[in-house]
Amino acid sequence: MKLLLPETLRAIGEKSAIGQRLDEIEALRLYECGDLNALGQMADEVNRRKNGDFASYILNRYFNYSNYCILSCQFCAFSRKKRDADGFELAVSDMVQKAREALSIGITELHIVGGLHPSLPFSYYTGMIRELKAVDQRLKLKCFTAIEILHLAWLSKKPVPEVLGEFRSIGLDSLTGGGAEIFRQEVRDSIARGKETAEEYLDVHRTWHNLGGRSTCTMLFGHLETLEDRVDHMRQLRELQDETGGFSGFIPLPYQPDNNGIPVKYSPDGFDMLRTLAVARLYLDNFDHITAYWVGMGLKLAQVALCHGANDLHGTIMEEKIFHMAGAETPQMQTENEMINAIREAGRVPVQRDTFYEPIREWAGEKVLSKI
Ligand code: SF4
């Protein structure tokens, strides 16, 4: 690791302190910074200007409708073929049951993704959205990655804007940000051959944003990519955000090493996770929210990330398969109290948020300060 000369760090810090946009060379210089405390402090100052003392979490529930997939991305430990004994697909009625249970304990968002199923009809997906929305209109549905949307467009023989418009009209609230991986094609070919290109990923999100929808976006880091690839990935997200303003938040995802075909046997270390969040906070000046994903980082390190540029801990989640099948050793869920305590102990004010990072409740001490 090169040590960034203090005067260079100071010059970049002064630029970000007055709200000037950093370029890619400067982002790379920050990545090469050996002084994590100084980098984290710079990112923390930018975060506090945007979000004050608040840090958020969401009461959400994950589930997957199926893990059957026609692709075989090298990094994926989740997908199965029809011949595999541990493949599954849920009936819509099972999902409705999960939605009812989630609603009864205060969950505000269902986060639903799956593989590219070889045979389920398009009506399965529209039925899923309709019936889940019918459980309660207030339950926000955050579903599908960009590659699933492309698959469903192919399946239905409809253009992407039509598929997205139809989903939006029947109750889809947000796209998920999954599947971005790393945008550079050579890396994509090595970790997710056959998946959509960067342009296709971005174009699905652009189309959704132009329809009035919002989505999150991600970056899978710590495998075969270079630091230049990470900065270039964030550059492309920043450019789309300049164009549409439709990204509600950025969620860097640390690579998980088990049960896949990639010759990288370790997750990124804690230092790398924290500096990635800090660089993201400093470089992505047009993003309001940076999420520390506790499923990949662990709650304790995600908590520390709240002082390194992140302002959100993601959610309660309840049932996570994709990271855990790839070796994540974190629990399946966090309780609301655990998330509140983690935020409070980091010296921030906990805020329960909705799918779009809008506040629902603020906490002061043990009390709800405001209910919005
Ligand atoms: S990452 Fe997604 S598209 Fe690729 S194999 Fe896994 S489930 Fe299928």
- Per-residue pLDDT of 148-180, as tens digits, reads 999 999 999 999 999 999 999 999 999 999 999
- What pLDDT, on the 0 to 100 scale, is given for residue 372? 42
Q: What is the pLDDT of residues 250-262, one digit of tens each?
A: 999 999 999 999 9
Distance 78 CA to ligand 1 centre (A): 7
How far is C-alpha 154 from the geometric centre of its chain's CA atoms?
25
Amino acid sitting at position 32:
E
* Ligand 1, CB within 6 Å, residue ranges: 69, 71-73, 76, 78-79, 115-116, 147, 192, 195
Q: What is the pLDDT of residues 191-250, one digit of tens each?
A: 999 999 999 999 999 999 999 999 999 999 999 999 999 999 999 999 999 999 999 999
Q: Separation of 196 CA from ligand 1 center, angstroms?
A: 11
Is pLDDT above 70 for 371? no
Mean per-residue pLDDT, 31-53? 94
As a dihedral over the C-alpha atoms of residue 13, residue 16, residue 21, residue 27, rounded to 10 degrees, the angle is 40
Q: Which DSSP string corresponds to 44-89?
A: HHHHHHHHTTEEEEE-EEEEESB-B-S---TT-SS-B-TT-TT--B
**Binning pLDDT at 50, 70 and 90, where does residue 116 land?**
very high
Cα 193 to ligand 1 centre (Å): 10
Q: What Rg value do the Cα atoms of the chain yield, rounded?
A: 20
pLDDT at 98: 95
pLDDT digits (tens, 9 = 90+) for 301-350: 999 999 999 999 999 998 888 889 989 988 888 899 999 999 999 999 99
Report whether pLDDT(364) > 90. Answer: no
pLDDT over 60 (residue 2): no
Q: How far is the CA of 340 from the centre of ligand 1 (A)?
A: 33
Mean pLDDT across the chain = 94
Question: What is the b/e burial string over 268-296, where b = at least 16 CB atoms within 10 angstroms of the residue's CB?
Answer: bebebbbbbbbbbbbbbbebebbbbbbbb
Query: Mean pLDDT over residues 77-90, rounded?
Result: 96
From the alpha carbon of 67, which atom of ligand 1 is closest?
A: 7
Geometric angle at alpha carbon 140, from 134 and 141, rounded to 5°: 80
pLDDT for 88: 97
End-to-end, the C-alpha distance of the chain in Å comes to: 46
Beta strands in the chain (DSSP E): 54-58, 60-64, 109-113, 140-143, 174-175, 214-221, 247-254, 312-315, 349-353, 359-364, 367-371
Q: What is the mean pLDDT of residues 68-86?
A: 96
Beta pairing partners, 140: 109
Tell the residue nearest (CA) to atom 4 of ligand 1.
73
Question: What are the DSSP calls for 220-249, one per residue?
Answer: EESSS--HHHHHHHHHHHHHHHHHH--EEE
Q: What's the number of CA atoms in the CB half-sphere (13 Å) around residue 306? A: 29
- Compute φ and ψ for 117, nearest 5 degrees: -65, 135
> Residue 6: pLDDT above 80?
no
Nearest CA to ligand 1 atom 1: 76
Domains in the chain with CATH codes: 52-371 (3.20.20.70)
Q: Is the pLDDT of residue 21 over 90?
A: yes
